[in-house]
Structure 1
Amino acid sequence: MKTIQLRRYTLVDGEYDAFLSWWQGSMPRVRPEAGFAIEFAYGLRETNEFVWAVSAPGDQDAFLALEATYMESDARAAVFAGVPQRVAEYNVRFVDDFA
């Protein structure tokens, strides 16, 4: 069993390329090191959006416990240090996996 979180962002105008560069250089390293798997990631340049999914083994409670540890980690703090706010709106939800 795994839990999947869908993360949809509307990016700050003019920050699309900078966000993608930062994300590609950071998340594929830091999230798996913290016990997560990145299921997919897509950018929608026309609408200034970025959509990705991250998963972790277990139920939602296990995911939330892992996420709490990740949010407080030095590794996460390091990849966000000095990075300007590039996300204007977050929409983060758990999804049902039917595959």
Structure 2
Amino acid sequence: MPRTTQLRTYTVRNGLLDEWVERWRNDIVPLRLDLGFEIGGAWIDRERDQFVWLVSYEGPETFEERNAMYWASPERKAMDLDPDDYLVRTEDRTVEQRY
């Protein structure tokens, strides 16, 4: 399977950016890594209340199949984390690395 990378840009509710980053780092990242995803980096843009990150997967399933496994996992459900509580808007783009 080819490697798939998504550039994800999240606009976070005003005043919740730091809390979102903490939840993302402590809850989301470990599970993503356990399921074979790679995190290429994460950045915040305080001026725009945005959180930007790169997530990749290369394995026997497609990115979409593995992502569905992430969302359906008991560990994800146990997080008690609804992205809508934090995120106003999300934009996911599949990108190809050139450098």
- TM-score when normalising by structure 2: 0.87
- Cα distance in structure 1, aligned partners of 2:71 and 2:6: 15
Q: Which residue of 1 aligns with 2:71?
A: 71
Deviation of 1:27 after TM superposition, in Å, equals: 2.2
**Structure 1 stretches lacking a partner, 5+ long:** none
Q: What is the alpha-carbon root mean square deviation over aligned residues?
A: 1.9
Instruction: Trace 1:1-99 onto structure 2 (pairs within 5 A).
Output: 1-58=2-59, 62-79=62-79, 81=80, 83=82, 85-99=85-99
User: What runs of 5+ residues in structure 2 fail to find an aligned partner?
Assistant: none
Aligned residues with identical type, % of pairs: 31
Q: How many residues align?
A: 97
Distance 1:30 1:82 in 2: 13
Q: Deviations over 1:35-54 (max 9, x none)?
A: 10101100111210000010
After superposition, the C-alpha distances for 1:8-47 in whole angstroms (9 at most, x for unaligned) are: 0000111111111111211221100111010110011121
